[in-house]
């Protein structure tokens, strides 16, 4: 059986590989992460990572105005870059 972490990571990899658009990722990720993953199903580090992804999605739009950028909004390309960096940091062993 596939773990919730594996399912979520699979979604992340699909958007990073451009198999999924950011819009499709949002449609699939939100309901799975918020409604299907039990509170104790992920480690604390994994929960922090996947929650950060969900929060960043809240501040992501296809196109962003200069005014929106001042409030912290990013566009889809920037989200992909952010997600790639965050995934690398998350998967880096902690010393």
State the Cα–Cα distance between residues 47 and 74, nearest whole angstrom: 22
pLDDT tens profile 17-29: 999 999 999 999 9
pTM of the model: 0.91
pLDDT band at residue 94 under the 50/70/90 scheme: low
pLDDT band at residue 1 under the 50/70/90 scheme: confident
Mind listing the domains of the chain with CATH numbers? Answer: 4-91 (1.20.120.650)
State the Cα–Cα distance between residues 87 and 84, nearest whole angstrom: 5
The per-residue pLDDT for 91 is 80
Distances (CA, A) of 41 to 28, 59, 74: 18, 26, 30
The per-residue pLDDT for 93 is 62
pLDDT band at residue 2 under the 50/70/90 scheme: confident
């Amino acid at each position: 059986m596939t773990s919730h972490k594996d399912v979520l990571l699979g979604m992340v990899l699909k958007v990073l590989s451009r198999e999924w658009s950011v819009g499709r990722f949002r449609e699939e990720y939100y309901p799975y992460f918020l409604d299907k993953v039990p509170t104790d199903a992920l480690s604390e580090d994994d929960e922090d990572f996947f929650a950060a992804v969900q929060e960043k999605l809240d501040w992501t739009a296809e196109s962003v105005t200069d005014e929106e950028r001042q409030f912290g909004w990013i566009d889809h390309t920037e989200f992909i870059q952010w997600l790639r960096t965050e995934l690398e940091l998350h998967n880096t062993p902690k010393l």
